[in-house]
Amino acid sequence: MTDLITLFASTGAASSGKGSQSSLSMILMIVAMFAIMYFLMIRPQKKREQQERDMRNSIEIGDEIITIGGIVGRVVTIREEDLVIETGADRTKMKIQRWAVNSNKTKAEQHQKELEAAREAAKAKKNKKSTKSEEDK
């Protein structure tokens, strides 16, 4: 009888060791899944939201914007949470919320021009280096 009890005790101890190892691997898998989810889904979304927030906070008077409803207009007045834009040939003024701005066309065009200028400068530098190396030969 005592042999049977010691056999059950030793079997239980051995299986509890396997169980703790199994639960540890399960916990590590769950942590790994959350880490993957964070880097693939949550982090890019937060980055995008931060860029949108920065874009909306950098709006200035005179910028041409597009609202989430597709209305295109030029900013006339800026308040804390409101913008007044004028749109159309008859310069109709509309009051919109800052969160309703989808994109800032003026800033996007400036950014595009800066990128093109940087590309042209890089090409010029590359051409200058290649002509200099040809002259050295």
At 29-66, the pLDDT tens digits run 999 999 999 999 999 999 999 999 999 999 999 999 99
In DSSP notation, 53-97 reads: HHHHHT--TT-EEEETT--EEEEEEE-SSEEEEEETTTTEEEEEE
Q: Mean pLDDT in runs of 10 for the chain (137 residues)?
A: 48 54 91 92 93 93 94 94 93 94 89 88 83 66
The predicted pLDDT at position 108 comes to 82
Q: Which residues pair with 86 in a beta bridge?
A: 74, 93
Write the single-letter amino acid at 59.
I
pTM of this structure = 0.59
CA distance 103 to 68: 8
The predicted pLDDT at position 78 comes to 95
Q: How many CB atoms lie within 10 A of CB 95?
A: 11
The predicted pLDDT at position 19 comes to 65
CA distance 109 to 39: 31
The predicted pLDDT at position 28 comes to 94
